[in-house]
């Protein structure tokens, strides 16, 4: 579909005060039809095509580790496909992000498609901001299925309230992070918000420090999810605390150094 025929995604999505309060208390919130079913279906076409074109994963599932079995991951599709860029840069989505963060505007960190194949494994417990040289409490991720899903397709679970203490581990996504957070959630008696069925265009939003995981895909079709990550405009780049953050600094904040305002050409400012 030509880019100018794709849905504009410029109308505002009404985020209630209750939704904002839930996000800030729990570190996550699910919202219905942030994109309509029809809008999500329209963008599914270019996103899926871009994933097929850009994915470099060729190994059979049986030959991958837990991270590799978790999903087909393709990042920064917006830099490669103008149709996908229209979705990623949508003012509607940026407006929801800004409202939840309580800021006038946000900047794009990066996008990523997370397609979980039939038979794909679970995504272990982790905190996204372990990978980011930014204040994770001022960053958030939108996780939007482009097809209808049930928990069996690889739904997302959250440890409610786990965002309040910032970094809880420096372990990357792995069986080790699963074991670490299983113990931590038990010790802290944190409640797990289990996966739910979601329509195409529904979305969850979670803070950078919210502990979360996804189930394996026990269905017979691909779980097609698109994510977008934003941060509050005006943040400064932090000194990388690990090699993953050093890699992210070079990849997603190109040309910047610790102490700089996080505002490279790769991080356009987005307003509602």
Per-chain mean pLDDT for the chain: 93
- Is the pLDDT at 165 greater than 70? The verdict is yes
3-state helix, strand, coil in the chain (%, to 5): 35, 20, 45
Nearest to 205 by CA among 20, 64, 67: 20
Nearest to 139 by CA among 166, 101, 111: 101
Q: Exposed, middle or buried by CB within 10 Å (0-12, 13-18, 19+), for 188? A: middle
State whether residue 141 is helix, strand or coil.
Answer: strand
Query: For residues 218 and 195, what is the distance between their CA atoms, to the nearest angstrom?
Result: 14
Of 89-93, 119-123, 157-161, 214-218, which range is least confident? 119-123
- Is the pLDDT at 232 greater than 90? The verdict is yes
Query: How much is the pTM?
Result: 0.93
Place of tokens 């985020």: 15
Distance set, CA 236 to CA 233, 262, 263 (Å):
9, 5, 9
**Which pLDDT value is given to residue 5?**
85
Nearest to 9 by CA among 58, 53, 45, 43: 43
DSSP string covering 164-210, please? TT-----PPSSHHHHHHHHHHHHHHTPPEE----B-TT-EEEEETT-
CB contact at 8 A, 269 and 233 = yes
pLDDT band for position 63 (cuts 50, 70, 90)? low
Domain ranges of the chain: 14-248
Place of tokens 């400064």: 236
Q: Which CATH superfamily is domain 14-248 in?
A: q2cbj1_9rhob like domain (2.60.120.620)
**What are the pLDDT digits (tens) for 4-57?**
689 999 999 999 999 999 999 999 999 999 999 999 999 999 999 999 898 866
- Pseudo-torsion of CA 35, 210, 126, 128, nearest 10°? 60
Place of tokens 């008696």: 189
Query: For residues 229 and 219, what is the distance between their CA atoms, to the nearest angstrom?
Result: 27
- Is the pLDDT at 70 greater than 60? The verdict is no
């Amino acid at each position: 579909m030509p880019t100018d025929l794709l849905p504009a995604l410029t109308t505002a999505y009404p985020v209630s005060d209750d939704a904002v309060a839930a996000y800030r208390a729990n570190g996550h919130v699910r919202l219905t039809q942030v994109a309509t079913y029809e809008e999500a279906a329209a963008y599914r076409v270019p996103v899926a095509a871009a994933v097929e074109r850009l994915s470099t994963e060729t190994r059979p599932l049986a030959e991958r580790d837990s991270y590799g079995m978790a999903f087909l991951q393709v990042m920064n599709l917006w830099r490669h496909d103008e149709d996908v860029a229209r979705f990623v840069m949508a003012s509607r989505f940026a407006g929801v992000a800004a409202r939840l963060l309580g800021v006038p505007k946000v900047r794009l960190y990066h996008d990523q498609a997370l397609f979980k194949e039939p038979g794909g494994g679970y995504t272990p417990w982790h905190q996204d901001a372990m990978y980011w040289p930014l204040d994770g409490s001022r960053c958030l991720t939108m996780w939007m299925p482009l097809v209808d899903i049930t928990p069996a397709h690889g739904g997302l679970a959250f440890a409610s309230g786990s965002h309040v203490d910032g970094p809880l581990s420096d372990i990357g996504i792995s069986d080790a992070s699963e074991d670490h957070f299983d113990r931590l959630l038990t010790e802290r008696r944190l409640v797990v918000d289990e996966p739910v069925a979601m329509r195409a265009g529904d979305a969850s939003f979670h803070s950078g420090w919210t502990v979360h995981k996804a189930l394996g895909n026990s269905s017979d079709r691909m779980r097609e999810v698109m994510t977008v990550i934003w941060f509050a405009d005006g943040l400064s780049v932090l000194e990388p605390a690990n090699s993953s953050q050093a890699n992210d600094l070079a990849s997603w904040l190109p040309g910047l150094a610790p102490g700089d305002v996080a505002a490279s050409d790769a991080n356009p400012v987005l307003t509602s």
